Amino acid sequence: MFFERKEEEKVHKGSVLVGYDLGDDFSQISYCIFGEEDVESVATVVGTKQYNIPTVLYKRKGVNQWFYGKDAVKNCGEDGTLVTNLVEAAKKGEVLSIDGEEFDPIALLTLFLKRSLGLMSFIATMDNINALMFTVDNLDDRMVDVLAKAAVNLNLKTSRIYFQSHMESFYYFVLHQPEELWNYQVLACEHNGKRLKTYRLEENKKTTPIVVLIEEQTYNTLVLPDEQETETIKKDSYHLADEKFLDILQRQCENRIVSTAYLLGDGFRDGWAEEALRFLCRNRRVFQGNNLFSKGACYGLVERIEPSKVGQEHIFLGPDKLKANIGMNVKRRGKDSYFALLDAGENWFEVHKECEFILPGDENKISFVVTPLTGKSAGKQEIVLEDAPIRKGAFCRYQMEVKMVSTECVEIEVTDLGFGELFPSTGKVWTKQFTVA
């Protein structure tokens, strides 16, 4: 018999959901009202489509006065300190010395987040945000730790604070577009002026649910010229960049049907990719913008809270995801049953489940069924409860905690709880780790 933990309180229609794209150069905020279809992005200037918030702070010299974003950039010519690379500094964990004082980089990042979320005040105050999704370029272990600490420091009234990569935000964005746009493969090209990153999404429609994979590639050689360069140098540089981009697109689309492409970021602002665009627009729908990831973060929240029909029919197996279903064959009320412990598609750093169960007093093995969604055959794993107390004719009650310690490693911990006053707990704990590839 199993006793699962209590689930979180439901999110009600009309609740405010926020997607926050946190970048080292710029950040963006999008939001939606739960139960409504539209996702909107927050403009830094009302009535415009200026969504980029410079991820910077500025401290005036000698006083505890801070500015963020565009105000920080505007004031940086005065006597004070402009603090850049907030995300990178928080990841490194190095104390920052500013105006003769030392500051925790995560505290400074939190200050920027609080100030920038103030742009939401015309929709909802910080206290009225019901769920928040952070999305970042690369969601490694350290980035998860930084975001978790910053999220706690925000003191929001909700516990629904989540993290996902740009890759996953792209997946959720595509999932919520008209189906004719993603009948075949979808390509996103993001350029920030310094490097090009591509995301190519494809489905395996032979699986149930349909497995979605995204191939990500980075091209550091496609660099655009600086603003201060002469017009002649700019022209030559843009022409070379156009040739390189065309070659990349041709290789991305070779022997594939790409139905839709998205051009993202300020790197495409100057319209230099003439030949590449001519190729890309041939028999494809092409869109240009720069707020896809923050919108995708909002859609990711919607799917977490209330999965749509199309969301239930698809599963994204990105590099941060558990790639197998893990469960147990058990008896419930005398009938054989399957008890799901972990579901494929969950972020490895969010996987954590606890339950209690009862075994006959003469059994000391627990078996798990591992069913990969990568095409491999289902397998089994076992924990042998060595030196477990033998209670013939009685039962043993155990607590089990399941979590992942990396993208491929599952850890299971079993604790003896005893069984009533007759059989007190021995306090024994058994732990096993196994790989899920």
pLDDT along the chain (437 residues), means of 10: 49 91 97 92 89 96 94 86 96 93 96 96 89 95 94 93 96 97 97 94 92 96 86 90 96 96 93 95 94 97 95 94 90 82 90 88 88 85 87 82 91 89 84 89
Residues in contact with 187: Cβ distance below 8 Å, sequence separation at least 6, in sequence order: 198, 199, 200, 201, 249, 252, 253, 258, 260, 261, 262
Pair of tokens at residue 32: 């939606």
Could you tell me which residues are beta bridge partners of residue 27? 53
Q: How far apart are CA 178 and CA 103, in angstroms?
A: 47
Phi, psi (5° rounding) for residue 212? -110, 130
Burial letters for 249-282: b for 16+ Cβ neighbours within 10 Å, e otherwise? beebbeeeebebbbbbbebbeeebbeebbeebee
In contact, 397 and 428? CB cutoff 8 Å: no
Query: Quick one: DSSP state of residue 24?
Result: S
pLDDT of residue 393: 65
What domains can you pick out in the chain, each with its CATH number? 169-296 (3.30.420.10), 324-435 (2.60.34)
**Lookup result for tokens 């964990």:** 93
- Relative to beta strand 314-316, strand 210-219 is parallel
Query: Quick one: DSSP state of residue 240?
Result: H
pLDDT of residue 149: 96
Q: How far apart are CA 22 and CA 136, in angstroms?
A: 5
- Relative to beta strand 324-332, strand 365-372 is antiparallel
pTM, whole model, 2 decimals? 0.90
Q: How far apart are CA 425 and CA 428, in angstroms?
A: 8
**Lookup result for tokens 């490694």:** 140
Q: How far is CA 3 from the centre of its chain?
A: 29
Q: How far apart are CA 436 and CA 411, in angstroms?
A: 11
CA dihedral 399, 405, 410, 411 (to 10 degrees): -30
**3-class DSSP assignment, residue 69:** helix
Pair of tokens at residue 192: 């920030």
pLDDT of residue 4: 41
Q: At what angle do helices 141-153 and 105-117 cross, to 10 degrees?
A: 60
Q: At what angle do helices 292-305 and 166-175 cross, to 10 degrees?
A: 70
- Relative to beta strand 66-68, strand 285-289 is unpaired
pLDDT of residue 127: 87
Q: How far apart are CA 131 and CA 9, in angstroms?
A: 12
Q: Is the dihedral of CA 323, 338, 431, 356 positive or negative?
A: positive
- The secondary structure of 119-179 as a DSSP string is GGGGT--GGGEEEEEEEES---HHHHHHHHHHHHHTT-S-S-EEEEEHHHHHHHHHHTS-G
Q: How far apart are CA 116 and CA 29, in angstroms?
A: 8
Comparing C-alpha atoms, which of 138, 136, 137, 172 is closest to residue 316? 172
In contact, 164 and 139? CB cutoff 8 Å: yes
Comparing C-alpha atoms, which of 291, 359, 346, 259 is closest to residue 135? 291
